[in-house]
Structure 1
Amino acid sequence: MSVFLKATPSAFVASLGLFAALALPACSTRPAEGEKSTAGTAAADGDTAAQPAPIDTIKIQAMAMRRDSLKADSIAKKNGQLPGAILPGHRIVAFYGNIRSKGMGILGREPKEQMFRKFAGVIKEWQAADPSIPVQPALHNVTITAQGTAGKDGKWRLMNSKSTIEEVISWAKEHNCILFLDVQPGHSTLQAELPKLEQYLKDPIVHLGIDPEFSLATMPGVRPNQRIGTLDAKDVNFTINFLARIVSENHLPPKVLTVHRFTRKMLSNYKNIKLDPRVQVVMHMDGHGDPTLKKDSYDAYIKAEPVQYTGFKLFYEYDARPKPHHIMTPSEVIALTPSPLYIQYQ
């Protein structure tokens, strides 16, 4: 959720069961629950049996995940997309915010039913503007939020309660939306925070967003909103691999990952991002202000440093100020090159 914009130069398918259900432990090689240890045992005659060579379970599982990824690649190359992929056959239009906050965006700012009536009108506008591609409605809830105080562990972030997350999932299902859970890690890391959301990401309608603006682990002592944070390609790759594993283990259609961006330094080494057909990556232009500046930022940071798909944010409160600025219309956004397939209203 950016606070300013800098001027710049100019369908779930069962066949997915072919993926191996393999977990990749982050930091432990102990046997999984219910498995037997591979340690050697004493021989029946009392002599010590020769110890087998140690088994590197992490390496074996990583190799298996790689084979799984190659199999996904082969299907994607043959058929164009993995079964159930949302992009590029749909345009996602999302309302963003937090259902427990009136200040973070349209999602949460207005009473629920009033907000959904407004959302229905927006969806109709987008479908009318481009009848060639169906619109997929989405809610985008900031679920781990950067905070103005450090908290007990000094990480400057707070996660929504289980009941809040379950409530926003129920909102999405009631209104035939998909749902993005957004992460602002503060002084924590994606590696530490994303596992907290795994139980929810096993739901086919739940997808993920990550926000470099509020990723400050490399900036000791900096409070959120004091400086713009950053993520590297290795962080995005960790996230892609994390989601790809969930897709394979749970036989899910591909997940969509949105990455917020409105400056060059918010994402380093973009060329090192490694795509996987189980995860569809959207680089999302997240700045507000004069439409001309928004277009320039889209060209400079999204179009000029392409990854896969593109997104564009519109702000109800900030884009129309000061006059004569205005909130860009669906037709104006669709006319961008490349035409964004993920649209977010805050």
Structure 2
Amino acid sequence: MPKALPGAILPEKRIIAFYGNPLSKRMGILGELEPEQMFAQLDKEVAAWEKADPSTPVQPAFHVIVVTAQGQPGKGDKYRLRMSDHVAEKVIGWAEQKDAIVFLDLQIGRSTLQEEIPRLEPFLKLPNVHLGIDAEFAMKSNGVPGRRVGSYDAADINYATSFLASMVDKYQIPPKLLIVHRFTQRMITNYKNIKLDPRYQIVMHMDGWGNQTLKKDTYRAYIQKEPVQYTGFKIFYKNDKRKPGWRIMAPEDVLKLNPKPLYIQYQ
């Protein structure tokens, strides 16, 4: 693992992120509640993590979907919808109020990272704005989002990180973070070819929902057994307690995982 550069967030801090889109109440906690209520809930989660692991400072974050996968072709047959810049600007404004960082997340459908990432440069040049890419909705040249699970290859991830590295060089800013969503074997291919560099930090993020046993097994099978750099773990406020007997994992439960995740996302 490359030695962290000055200003790098990991591994010195643990990121606690709220996920979603402010235009939708169905995509996650980020849009489900009014801003002040959502801020209070984030403060509550941050406090719980600080109590569970006092040795690791917490960095609050907002993780906003700025390109959403669609079930219909749409313009250009890309099966994706680009949000207006207003969405990212709103969330970046929230982050300034909470001393938080921001992740811009991409569900690209049949588009490509080469088409979607460069247009985010005005935001990614900011020191507190980072990137997330969701393999579930990356359909290549065929397939429909939501009907089957998509995938990214190491080459796709290497493109994303090379762009982030160029932002660090061009604007002389601290290292960038890349969050990569994963919950099946085929979602990420050729993981051993993923390149590391001190100008960026990669988090392989366990994005599956279900009971605790399933979530832990998924983490071990696809995150622990195919290590890249840092790890993440997702908590679903609704889906993780969908059936009788299921309950949301507390920080103390997540901290029993090995390695201990340094990025926690709540949806």
Sort the TM-score into its range (normalised by shorter chain): over 0.9
Aligned identity (percent) is: 56
| CA–CA separation in structure 2 for the residues paired with 1:163 and 1:261 | 28
Larger Rg: 1
Q: 1:253 aligns with which of 174, 178, 196?
A: 174
> Which residue number in structure 2 is paired with residue 105 of structure 1?
28
Q: Give the residue type in structure 2 aligned to 1:272.
A: N
CA deviation map 1:34-53 (0-9, x unaligned): xxxxxxxxxxxxxxxxxxxx
1:335 Cα offset (Å): 1.2
1:195 aligned to 2:118? yes
| CA–CA separation in structure 2 for the residues paired with 1:198 and 1:259 | 19
1:150 Cα offset (Å): 1.1
1:214 aligned to 2:137? yes
More relative contact order, 1 or 2 (CA 8 Å, 6+ apart)? 1
Instruction: Give the count of matched residue pairs.
Output: 267
> Which residue number in structure 1 is paired with residue 147 of structure 2?
226
Give the CA RMSD over aligned residues.
1.0
| CA–CA separation in structure 1 for the residues paired with 2:241 and 2:129 | 31
CA deviation map 1:256-306 (0-9, x unaligned): 100000001000000000111111000000000010000000000000000
> Which residue number in structure 1 is paired with residue 160 of structure 2?
239
Aligned to 1:198, the other structure's residue is in SS state helix
| CA–CA separation in structure 1 for the residues paired with 2:186 and 2:137 | 13
| CA–CA separation in structure 1 for the residues paired with 2:86 and 2:246 | 39
Q: 1:299 aligns with which of 217, 220, 223?
A: 220
> Which residue number in structure 2 is paired with residue 171 of structure 1?
94
> Which residue number in structure 1 is paired with residue 248 of structure 2?
327
Match runs of 1:305-344 below 5 Å: 305-344=226-265
1:162 Cα offset (Å): 1.4
Report the TM-score when normalising by structure 2: 0.98
- Which structure's residues are more often strand, by fraction? 2
Q: Give the residue type in structure 1 aligned to 2:199.
A: R
> Which residue number in structure 2 is paired with residue 123 of structure 1?
46
Q: Give the residue type in structure 2 aligned to 1:183.
A: L
Report the TM-score when normalising by structure 1: 0.76
| CA–CA separation in structure 1 for the residues paired with 2:191 and 2:124 | 25
> Which residue number in structure 2 is paired with residue 272 of structure 1?
193
| CA–CA separation in structure 1 for the residues paired with 2:57 and 2:255 | 13
CA deviation map 1:215-236 (0-9, x unaligned): 0014x2x221000001100000
1:147 Cα offset (Å): 1.1
| CA–CA separation in structure 1 for the residues paired with 2:210 and 2:20 | 18
| CA–CA separation in structure 2 for the residues paired with 1:313 and 1:164 | 23
Structure 1 runs (4+) deviating above 4 angstroms are none
